A and B are shown apart, each in its own frame.
Chain A
């Protein structure tokens, strides 16, 4: 397809304290309609956006964390998480939601969306992008 650009959404804030996480997710879902090469990066406090078992009943804010599991259906299958950010926060991959997508070129096999990268790998990935949107 012509004019496919590499878009990366970089998420660096914890959810709920500010509107960045929700706004990013909304832009990603809207942008998914444009058939671009989309990837998401979760760096620094952004890793808290993907934690499982989020319960917002006590704070009166809608829990939008379930929406991340819909990203696979929007063909957003490249979700990168910074290892160093997890380590710094005492988190592991097990603390995050298990996000998957179905590969139509592989008999709709369910595959993991999240890949944990080193800082150096994340830096290389940033360099490859045509457009970087930061939240």
Chain B
């Protein structure tokens, strides 16, 4: 059973993403939204941690939220897929259930 986790908090400000990563099962997905999108940027203090988690979890980031914060798609860590709102909806339908981390 594959779960979709959404995380809307910055990895630099809250421990939410780290908790999510520690409890997300292999084969599940994490979608970064709202302030959570800054966690997807390459070359940050958190990037290595996220790259490691990507070995068995699929990562996605919401493009409109990235662009609102002045971050272009080319700054995202390699392997994290940028999705729009339609992609967000697709992810919700493709997974068995959703956990919205707040």
Judge whether B87 is part of the interface by a CB distance below 8 angstroms.
Answer: no
Q: Across the interface, do B63 and A58 meet the contact criterion of CB distance under 8 Å?
A: yes
The complex places the Cα of A25 from the Cα of B29 at a distance, in Å, of 36
Judge whether A127 is part of the interface by a CB distance below 8 angstroms.
Answer: no
Q: Across the interface, do B70 and A90 meet the contact criterion of CB distance under 8 Å?
A: no
Judge whether B68 is part of the interface by a CB distance below 8 angstroms.
Answer: yes
Over the window 20-50 of chain B, the binary record of Cβ atoms lying under 8 Å from chain A Cβ atoms (1 yes, 0 no) is: 0000000000000011101001111101000
Judge whether B67 is part of the interface by a CB distance below 8 angstroms.
Answer: yes
- How many chain-B residues does the 8 Å CB contact rule pick out? 26
The complex places the Cα of A56 from the Cα of B67 at a distance, in Å, of 7
Q: Across the interface, do A53 and B70 meet the contact criterion of CB distance under 8 Å?
A: yes
Judge whether A69 is part of the interface by a CB distance below 8 angstroms.
Answer: no
Residue of B nearest to A52 (CB): B70
Q: Which residue of the partner chain, among A44, A54, A57, A90, contacts B44 with CB atoms under 8 Å?
A: A90
Give the shortest distance, in Å, between A46 (CB) and chain B (any CB). Answer: 10
Q: Which residue of the partner chain, among B42, B64, B68, contacts A15 with CB atoms under 8 Å?
A: B68
Q: Given known contacts A88-B12, A90-B47, is B67 in contact with A16 (CB within 8 Å)?
A: no
The complex places the Cα of A31 from the Cα of B67 at a distance, in Å, of 30
A residues with CB within 8 A of B: 12-18, 44-45, 48, 51-59, 61, 63, 65, 87-90, 95
Q: Across the interface, do A45 and B64 meet the contact criterion of CB distance under 8 Å?
A: no
Residues of B within 8 A of A90 (CB): 41-44, 47, 75
Residues of A within 8 A of B75 (CB): 90
Q: Which residue of the partner chain, among A13, A45, A51, A58, contacts B70 with CB atoms under 8 Å?
A: A51
Can you list 14 residue pairs at the A/B interface with Cβ under 8 Å? A13-B35, A17-B34, A17-B65, A45-B35, A55-B70, A57-B64, A58-B63, A58-B68, A58-B84, A88-B44, A89-B38, A90-B41, A90-B43, A95-B70
Report which residue of B41, B69, B71 has the largest number of chain A beta carbons within 10 angstroms of its beta carbon.
B69
Q: Across the interface, do B69 and A16 meet the contact criterion of CB distance under 8 Å?
A: yes
Judge whether B6 is part of the interface by a CB distance below 8 angstroms.
Answer: no
Q: Given known contacts A14-B35, A18-B35, A54-B69, is B8 in contact with A89 (CB within 8 Å)?
A: no
Q: Given known contacts A45-B12, A51-B69, is B41 in contact with A59 (CB within 8 Å)?
A: no
